[in-house]
Amino acid sequence: MYSRCGKRIFDLIVVLPALVVLTPVMLLIALLVRLKLGSPVIFCQQRPGLQGKPFAIYKFRTMTNGCDVEGNLLPDAQRLTALGRFLRSTSLDELLEFFNVLKGDMSLVGPRPLLMKYLPYYTERERKRFTVLPGITGWAQINGRNDLSWDERLDADVWYVENRSLVLDLKILALTLCKALRRDGVRIDPHATMLNLDEERGGMS
C-alpha cells in the first residue's frame, strides 16, 4: 500500500513545505551561479526513471564550458570552480531535484538516477531499480555513496527496492541529512577515483 500511493503522499508532505523554506536559498544559489559561471544556471540532463523511461533531471550548474584547443570539453576536475566544488560537497546543487519530486519524476528516496548510456550494462536483477521511481537519496548513498564499487552500489539499490517501507524511507532521510551536514562520502569528481559503469563492464565483455 505504501509503495503504491502512500509514498507519493509522503513525498508531497515533505517537499511542499521544504520548497517554501528553501526557495530563498535556491534563489541565492541561482544568483551566485549566474554571476560566477554565467548562463545557463540550471543543468538539465536526461536520466532513466520509472521503467527506464527518460526524464529531465534538474541541478544547479557547477562547471564552466572550458574546452581544449580542439574544442573538446576539458575534464570535469578542470571545469569545476570553487563555487561548483562547494555546491557539490554540500549537495546544494541537487536542491532543484525537489521540483523533479513535485512533478512525479522522482521520489525523495529511491535508487539514484544514473546516466542513460549505462542502460545496456545492468544485470537482470539490477534492472529491478527501474520498478520504482528514482530518488534524491537512497540506501547506497547512506552506505558508502561513491566509496562503493558499482556492484555494491547497484546491489544496495536492489536491496532497497525489495525492502522499501515508510520506516526505511524515514531512516534513509534522517541519515542523509546527517551525512550531508558532515559531508560524509562526498566525492567532488567521482570519475577521478572510479570508472564509469559502461567503461567498467564494457571492458569485461
Q: What's the predicted TM-score (pTM) here?
A: 0.88
- Per-residue confidence (pLDDT) for residue 199, from 0 to 100: 86
CB half-sphere exposure, 172, CA atoms < 13 A:
27
Do 114 and 34 meet the contact criterion of CB atoms below 8 Å apart?
no
- Per-residue confidence (pLDDT) for residue 99, from 0 to 100: 98
Can you give the residue ranges of every domain in the chain? 2-186
Rounded to whole angstroms, how far apart are CA atoms 20 and 86?
Answer: 23
Collect contacts of 116-122 with beta carbons under 8 A, ≥24 apart: 116/46, 116/47, 116/48, 116/54, 117/198, 118/196, 118/197, 118/198, 119/48, 119/52, 120/198, 121/197, 121/198, 121/201, 121/202, 122/154
Cell for 166? 515508510
- Per-residue confidence (pLDDT) for residue 41, from 0 to 100: 96
- Per-residue confidence (pLDDT) for residue 23, from 0 to 100: 96
Strand-pair category, 54-60 with 42-48: antiparallel
Cell for 113? 538516477
Q: What is the mean pLDDT of each run of 10 residues along the chain (205 residues)?
A: 87 96 97 93 96 97 80 76 90 96 97 96 96 96 86 96 96 92 65 76 68
CA atoms 66, 85, 101, 148: torsion sign: positive
pLDDT for 94-121, tens place per residue?
Answer: 999 999 999 999 999 999 999 999 999 9
